[in-house]
Amino acid sequence: MHDLFDLSGKVALITGGSRGLGFEIARAFALAGADIAVASRKIDACEAAAREIRAMGRKAVAVSANVSQWTEVERLAQAVYDQLGRIDILVNNAGMSPAVPSHEVTEALFDKIVSLNFKGPFRLASLVASRMAAANGGVIINVSSTGALKPMPLVVPYVSAKAALNAMTIGMAREYGPKVRVNSISVGPFLTDIAKAWSEEKRQNQDNALRRAAKPMEIVTTALFLASPNSTFVTGAIVRCDGGSDGGSF
């Protein structure tokens, strides 16, 4: 696998990288040879993740940032360029999906959900893509949701923001190609922190072809494929990693 997905000499920035899918991706990229910038709101969690990656023999930096805010996004990007010199791979992974009836969603909650799942990723991707395009190119991976392909009740702002993220993926692939590739991973049900609120039945059974939710590590090969030189003709794609779902899972 290492030969197929060799990321030696690359620098990857992963938002929401201190836990869940983001941390699994960070570890996998480090094992494949990349140096890692871990970003999330909690610096202690970022530092813990960075220490584990350094123990694997890779460089790692921890940056605390609220990626729903443009000023924080700009500071985050510059901090990584200052500390690691460049960004070859960006993974927009940070997100949130509270379940609330649409008529009970406040303006503040709506803005928070849309900012974290779309506004911040848009700004970060555009900043990084422009620098990648002016240099040696790079890869951007946006972590989306099957809910964007088949929207669900109770999480309408979330799935709408993820649909916008998919549209952004396709648009930016055209705007910053050919040197920058931009793709989305459309994830189905994963047993991350969000699953702690699920019923035991939902944790054990899912309405998809595999009849189950995924372990966090099952995101790894999809992310490695999109990040590696072995996917050089893949861009503007929404790649499903959902256990054969018909949509409606997140």
Model confidence pLDDT, tens digit, residues 16-39: 999 999 999 999 999 999 999 999
Is 158 a residue of the active site?
yes
pLDDT at residue number 197: 63
pLDDT tens per residue, range 53-98: 999 999 999 999 999 999 999 999 999 999 999 999 999 999 988 9
Cβ atoms of 113 and 99 within 8 Å: the answer is no
Cβ atoms of 69 and 123 within 8 Å: the answer is no
- pTM (predicted TM-score): 0.93
Domain 11-241 sits in which CATH superfamily? NAD(P)-binding Rossmann-like Domain (3.40.50.720)
Q: Report the C-alpha gap between 199 and 79 in whole angstroms.
A: 40
Catalytic residue among 158, 176, 190, 250: 158
- The candidate with the shortest Cα–Cα distance to 168, out of 108, 234, 238, 111, is 238
